[in-house]
Amino acid sequence: MPTHKMYPTLDAYVDSANGLYQIAGQYVTAGVASVAIAIDTIWAIPYVTGREITIDQLVVNVSTAKTSAVIRLGIYDDSGQLAPNSLVLDGGAIDASSTGIKTAGVSQKLLAGKVYWFAAVAGVSALAPYVRGLASSYGLRPLYHILDATTDLTTCYTASFAYGSLPSTFPTPLTEIDGGTRTPLIGMRVAS
């Protein structure tokens, strides 16, 4: 079994039983905080593959659990315009009614040099579960898309989506998330 590594190493995603997890997004800084995964709001965090990999787990670290809460994780491909597009993988629902690292078993090849979007949406419970994330998405490298005249840069996206199986096409309209917003961390375990 290969040694699993996460870049950068954030204590929020170290699991003594399963090793380290790689996190979607390319981080410049990494102040870690709890981030609400709002009910019926889907997040998309970019990840650029440097080499072809196969992942065997998607992961979040639930920091504040909510009774009956679930989080569905998945991956979308890129539209060619730095936005999530077509569903690549629906990793299924994970239980967010208790704290700790929660994984979804998957088997997915990610091709080298491609942009993928790691997605998360919470549902079932009326209250949003919290996961470990960045205290500010300024820690994410921006997508180099000007959000507005204030020169904040888009780092990820959200969209309204009623919880359920992930849609075949990422919902629109997209809400651009700029550098001042707390951003959830979605991880993966690289099998090969």
pLDDT in tens, 124-180: 776 788 888 776 545 455 454 444 555 556 678 899 999 999 999 999 999 887 766
Give the pLDDT mean for 112-123.
91
Higher pLDDT: 44 or 5? It is 44
Give the separation between CA 117 and CA 121, rounded to whole angstroms. 13
Whole-structure pTM value: 0.82
Give the separation between CA 140 and CA 108, rounded to whole angstroms. 24
Confidence label for 71 from pLDDT (cuts 50, 70 and 90):
very high
Confidence label for 9 from pLDDT (cuts 50, 70 and 90):
very low
Confidence label for 48 from pLDDT (cuts 50, 70 and 90):
confident
The residue type found at 86 is: S
Q: Would you state the structure tokens that stand for residue 39, as one six-digit string? A: 């009910």
Question: In what order do the strands lie in the sheet containing 156-160?
Answer: 84-95, 70-78, 115-123, 41-48, 156-160, 175-177
Q: Which residue from 91, 93, 86, 60 is spatially nearest to 171, judged by alpha carbons?
A: 86
Q: Where are the domains of the chain?
A: 11-190
Give the separation between CA 179 and CA 8, rounded to whole angstroms. 19
Q: Would you state the structure tokens that stand for residue 110, as one six-digit string? A: 């990610």
Task: Give the per-residue pLDDT at 25.
Answer: 55
Instruction: Please name every residue paired with 186 in a beta bridge, in sequence order, or none if there are none.
Output: none
Give the list of residues 6+ apart from residue 17 with CB closer than 8 angstroms, or none: none
Domain spanning 11-190, CATH architecture: Sandwich (2.60)
Q: Is the Cβ–Cβ distance between 99 and 130 less than 8 Å?
A: no
